[in-house]
Amino acid sequence: MLLSRNIRLAVSSLRSSKWRSYLTMLGIIIGVASVVVTVSIGEGVKKQVVKQINELGPELITVRPGTTVQRDENGNIVGVNLLAGINPGSFSEKEWTAITETSGVQSTSPLNVVSGVPRYQDKTMPNSIVVGTTDNFAALIGQELDYGAFFSDNDKNENTVVIGKRVADELFGELAPIGKSIQVRGHTLIVKGIFKQFPSTPLVASNDYNSTIFMPYEVSKKVSSGQVQIYQILAKAKDEKTANSAAANIRSNLTKLHGGEEDFTVLKQDENLAVVSNMLNLLTAFIAGVAAISLLVGGIGVMNIMLVLVSERTREIGVRKAVGATNKQILTQFLVESSVLCVVGGLLGIILSVIANYLIRVFTDLQPVITIPIILISVGIALIVGIIFGTTPAVIAARKDPIESLRYE
Amino acid sequence: MPVIELKDVSKLYGFGDATTVALDEVNFSVEKGEFVAIMGPSGSGKSTLLNIIGLLDKPTHGTYDLGGRRVERMRANRRSKIRRDTIGFIFQSFNLLPRLNVLENVALPLAYKGKTQTKRLKQAGAILEEVGLADREYFMPKQLSGGQTQRVAIARALVNNPKIIIADEPTGNLDSASSLVIMELLDKIHRDGNTILMVTHNPELTKYASRVVFMHDGSIVADEMSKFGEIPGFIKRRMYSVKIKTQEDKLKGVSAVMKAIPDKNTKNDDSSNKKQKKPIKKYKRKNKAKK
């Protein structure tokens, strides 16, 4: 009862000096909006990645050079090494053969990086990736083509390429540039097919197949003058049940091959998921933490204005005390006021972030997602900021001497 | 039994050499239904006395019984509650809250009591009708004249049915016509059986009081019952015919006036000097005892 009265009082007090209230709220609005936007972008990216990984199927095993994860004796992931992606090295054909011969593995497909920038007439695409892979790649990852066909066993020595959607768009500027030719390291390759849009995974550049140019493995060796740099080997287990044992076998075989050193990472799809979401969570938390600093600054602004308000209303405090308000009641009044200020700011911040997210969806590939927990948490944080930064001014108000307050001009 | 009973109440400000005595062992009691006017020059301790009686301040020494309860050493929280339930304040500068309308202002003490809004506003409306402002319920304070504002403040003081009403120069900011209205209203409240303590600088207003007290240098120097409509004799002498006998008296200024008041003269000057020093000594002694 008293709370609702206090809230009404606080709202009328905030409305009595609108500009000041808005400016004070601005700090909270920006703080909450930036936190909500970063968290929702992280959430959106995670959703996209999860979708992509799930589409690949549970029996797919990914083998990469470099130690991305730490495992305990039972093979459970206990930690993720974020820096492993910087200089992972590469596999050679040795490892590929070893994995192919591992029991439980049905088929494999390497991704051999060709260092070169594709050129079409006078246009280049420096942010694309050129890889060589085997003809079973498309089937392995279960991706269909929009136009044309993936190279088969028959044309594994032909100079053909299959390209991602974005390559078609950026390099050729058309939907289906089939039959057109591109130049890579002085070799001319003819476009044979265009993949359907892969579920795009922003922030994880190495996985963006939309801007990748695929050529037959043998051709890629020729193009890069015999050099082999396999950055990922995909292996498919016979079925979902054997995936675990197949992954374990790959691990032991490769460890043997590398002289007992486990300088590679074998990930099943579910583990892949765990690693990616772990990384994304960390990244999101970090950015959101930076954004939260603006919330802190906003909170200081609230505290500042509450101090002004308390001294401005010294006389009112005196009158209220004279007619029988206890210190606690005065404290509550001002605490409610700062909380209302922050919560209203928080709500406006959420509205702002919804608008910002809409713009992000329109102008970028990111698909931020605002969930109910994000809204509740951000309103909660705003409330906490209001209480934390409102406490000192409220205590000052509550401790004022009634006689001096009544004399205050 | 008196409503208010102060025994040997002193109030000191400051420490050591800078100690000033605001109240000097005052003994003062008020019976139920009295209308006490307190007069005296500025700095004589009237406001300090009212603040202590109104539980806004604590006495340094002495005891205070309000309605049979010892209150002088109570904690702030309980004092607030006693203020809320038993004391109504009327101020010189009205002190209505500018952001609340008239009705909400009057209902303010009830809000802190935790009454529901409908009950509060109903009760406040009834009191407003009593002070003749039923048609101003939804006005804001700044839309009222000075006299009306003070009547709202009186309604606020009355709304929780207080045992005592404390008015600190209620007509100080008003013209004489409005003052008259306010005093008639206070008189009516008095005749309804309320106890009123009023500080005033205007001797004319003591006509309404049933008892007049004169303070000087922190002591009560005169205390007389008076009939309605009459200004007590000592106030008249004090205000209208101060006899200055010698040049020395003239230099002393106000104290010369005090000498003119007979019962202060019966106690000789030495005793009054002693009185002033006594509390300081007491204070020092206490400090030593602590060491």
Could you please report the per-residue DSSP string of A323-363? Answer: TT--HHHHHHHHHHHHHHHHHHHHHHHHHHHHHHHHHHHHH
Instruction: Name every residue whose Cβ is closer than 8 Å to that of residue A280 and which is 6 or more positions away in sequence.
Output: A42, A45, A46, A49, A203
Q: Please, which residues bridge with residue A112 across strands?
A: A132, A230
- Distance in angstroms (rounded) separating the CA atoms of residues B97 and A271: 65
Q: Does the beta carbon of B111 lie under 8 angstroms from any beta carbon of chain A?
A: yes
Q: Does residue A133 form part of some domain?
A: yes
- Partner residue opposite A403 with nearest CB, options B51, B97, B156: B51
- Of B10-14, B241-245, B279-283, the range with the lowest mean pLDDT is B279-283
Q: Does residue A160 form part of some domain?
A: yes
Q: Is the pLDDT of residue B288 over 60?
A: no
- Partner residue opposite A324 with nearest CB, options B80, B91, B95: B80
Q: CB of A283 within 8 A of CB of A372?
A: no
**B81 to A406: CB separation less than 8 angstroms, yes or no:** no
Q: Is the pLDDT of residue A288 over 60?
A: yes
What is the number of other CB atoms lying within 10 angstroms of the CB of residue B288? 7
3-state secondary structure A203-235: CCHHHCHHHEEEEEHHHHHHHCCCCCCEEEEEE
Which of A228, A261, A289 is the last residue in one of the domains?
A228
Q: Please, which residues bridge with residue A237 across strands?
A: A105
Which of A168, A201, A228 is the last residue in one of the domains?
A228
Among B95, B159, B166, which would you mutate to test the A interface (most chain A Cβ atoms within 10 Å of its Cβ)? Answer: B95
Q: What is the pLDDT of residue B248?
A: 58
Q: Please, which residues bridge with residue A160 across strands?
A: A190
Q: Does the beta carbon of B264 lie under 8 angstroms from any beta carbon of chain A?
A: no
**For range A49-53, the mean pLDDT:** 76
Q: What is the pLDDT of residue B249?
A: 54
What pTM, to 2 d.p., does this model score?
A: 0.72
Give the model's confidence band at A46: pLDDT under 50 very low, under 70 low, under 90 confident, else very high.
confident
Q: What is the pLDDT of residues A383-408, one digit of tens each?
A: 999 999 999 999 999 999 999 999 88
What's the domain count of chain A?
Answer: 2
Whether residues A221 and A300 fall in one domain: no
Which of A167, A194, A228 is the last residue in one of the domains?
A228
Radius of gyration of chain B (CA): 20
Q: Does residue A260 form part of some domain?
A: no
What is the number of other CB atoms lying within 10 angstroms of the CB of residue A246? 25
* Crossing angle for the helix pair A269-312 and A372-398, to the nearest 10 degrees: 30
Q: Is the pLDDT of residue A40 over 70?
A: yes
- Distance in angstroms (rounded) separating the CA atoms of residues A66 and A216: 25
Q: CB of A310 within 8 A of CB of A393?
A: yes
Q: Is the pLDDT of residue A367 over 50?
A: yes
Q: What is the mean pLDDT of chain A?
A: 86
**B117 to A320: CB separation less than 8 angstroms, yes or no:** no
- Is A102 strand, coil or helix? coil
Q: Distance between the two ends of chain B, CA-based, in angstroms?
A: 40
Give the model's confidence band at B291: pLDDT under 50 very low, under 70 low, under 90 confident, else very high.
very low
Residues of B within 8 A of A323 (CB-CB) are 83-84, 89, 108-109, 112, 156
Q: Does residue A236 form part of some domain?
A: no
Closest CA to A384 of A41, A20, A376, A330: A376
Whether residues A43 and A161 fall in one domain: no
- Distance in angstroms (rounded) separating the CA atoms of residues A157 and A138: 17
Q: Which domains does chain B have, with CATH numbers?
A: 4-290 (3.40.50.300)
Task: Classify the C-alpha dihedral B256-B262-B263-B266 as positive or negative.
Answer: positive
Q: What is the pLDDT of residue A123?
A: 87
Q: Which residue has the higher pLDDT, A195 or B231?
A: A195
- Distance in angstroms (rounded) separating the CA atoms of residues A68 and A57: 21
- Asked if this assembly's ipTM is beyond 0.95, the reply is no
Q: Which residue has the higher pLDDT, B275 or B104?
A: B104
- Distance in angstroms (rounded) separating the CA atoms of residues B109 and B85: 8
- Distance in angstroms (rounded) separating the CA atoms of residues B33 and B197: 10
Q: Is the pLDDT of residue B9 over 60?
A: yes
**For range A190-202, the mean pLDDT:** 79
**For range B121-142, the mean pLDDT:** 92
Q: Does residue A151 form part of some domain?
A: yes
Q: Does residue A234 form part of some domain?
A: no
Give the model's confidence band at B275: pLDDT under 50 very low, under 70 low, under 90 confident, else very high.
very low
Q: Does residue A267 form part of some domain?
A: no
Residue A196 belongs to domain spanning: 116-228
Q: Does the beta carbon of B115 lie under 8 angstroms from any beta carbon of chain A?
A: no
Q: Is the pLDDT of residue B256 over 70?
A: no
Give the model's confidence band at A241: pLDDT under 50 very low, under 70 low, under 90 confident, else very high.
confident
Closest CA to A10 of A239, A292, A282, A342: A342
Q: Is the pLDDT of residue B261 over 70?
A: no
Q: What is the pLDDT of residue B195?
A: 94
Whether residues A283 and A352 fall in one domain: yes
Tokens 């002694």 locate to: B285
**B116 to A1: CB separation less than 8 angstroms, yes or no:** yes
Q: What is the pLDDT of residue B238?
A: 64
| A391, A395, A397, A398: CA torsion to nearest 10 | 130
Whether residues A180 and A286 fall in one domain: no
**For range A50-67, the mean pLDDT:** 79
- Is A129 strand, coil or helix? strand
**A328 to B77: CB separation less than 8 angstroms, yes or no:** yes
B146 phi and psi angles, rounded to 5 deg: -55, -45
